[in-house]
Amino acid sequence: MPELPEVETVKRGLEPVLAGRKLAAVKSSGLKLRAPLPEKLENRLIGRTIKILTRRAKFLLLHLDDGMVLIVHLGMSGRMNIVTPNAVTDRHDHLILDTDDNVRVIFRDPRRFGLLALASGNELSTHPLLGDLGPEPLEDDFDGTALLNRLGNKKGPIKPTLLDQTVVAGIGNIYASEALFRARIDPKRPAGALQKKEADLLAKSIRDILNEAIESGGSTLRDHARPDGELGYFQHHFNVYAKEGQPCPGCDCGESIKRIVQGGRSTFYCAKRQS
């Protein structure tokens, strides 16, 4: 599943071909994804200019010149492909955008857990998909204080709490483990019991890890530009995620990485470093 850094990388990859471009032709599969496609989607997009692209959590937002915003979520397997207008399409292509600059962008999603929605730009902050999201971890005002505010006096362990999108927007299972490892915080600690110092370090770790992943995504795109122009996935370097039994890379503790299950999801950590 694409995580925040991948969605950010997709956004940056699409910007040069979509921002400021008019949609000359639009085709949709009409098939239901996680939710049905917006009514008359093609008609509502064709002839519109995409002003800017932004991201909120793991949602990609295409802001149109009529004030509407196309919300895209890649789901489990969604990808964006930048191709030429005569490129072949298939039945997994749920949205095909042809720009006035002769570029075709395809949203391809074989498993159909993705999502396409249209919303008024004025209502984004109260939109059902976006309204309840917590602070954006890469915004300037995300710090230990902002994090503590959201953790409140939550009794649950910090790791699954970080996956709650109303606490921090866009943190997935991988980066929750990685950030706690870097901040040396026990994933089992009650979320509301974190001290200010720990929250500062955790907020910084979250930001640093996401930024590093975005960096590496960007360099992966530059170094291995795929001929099919596919955007969406790249190789990450992880310290603990899926490293159960391997030596701890963070300290000379001599321990190996442990795996526990919290809230039905795997957590990876060093029991000595994070205690």
Binding site for Zn ion (CB under 5 A): 248, 251, 253, 255, 270, 272-273
- Smallest distance from the beta carbon of 242 to Zn ion, in angstroms? 16
The one catalytic residue among 21, 56, 58, 273: 58
Give the residue with the Cβ less far from Zn ion, 141 or 252. 252
Give the residue with the Cβ less far from Zn ion, 83 or 253. 253
- Smallest distance from the beta carbon of 268 to Zn ion, in angstroms? 12
Give the residue with the Cβ less far from Zn ion, 23 or 248. 248
Cα–Cα distances in angstroms (integers) from residue 69 to residues 96, 107, 137, in the given order: 16, 16, 22
- Smallest distance from the beta carbon of 244 to Zn ion, in angstroms? 13
Active-site residue, 2 included: yes
Give the residue with the Cβ less far from Zn ion, 26 or 271. 271
- Smallest distance from the beta carbon of 203 to Zn ion, in angstroms? 22
- Smallest distance from the beta carbon of 275 to Zn ion, in angstroms? 10
- Smallest distance from the beta carbon of 184 to Zn ion, in angstroms? 9
Give the residue with the Cβ less far from Zn ion, 58 or 258. 258
Interatomic CA distance for residues 156 and 149, integer angstroms: 15
Active-site residue, 3 included: yes
The one catalytic residue among 44, 51, 154, 265: 265
Active-site residue, 58 included: yes
Residues 6+ apart with CB under 8 A from 95: 26, 27, 28, 29, 41, 106, 107, 116
Tell me the residue number closest to Zn ion, measured at CB.
248
Tokens 């930048």 locate to 82
Label residues 5-16 b or e (16+ Cβ within 10 Å = b). Answer: bbbbbbbbbbee
Give the residue with the Cβ less far from Zn ion, 35 or 251. 251
Residues forming the active site: 2-3, 58, 265
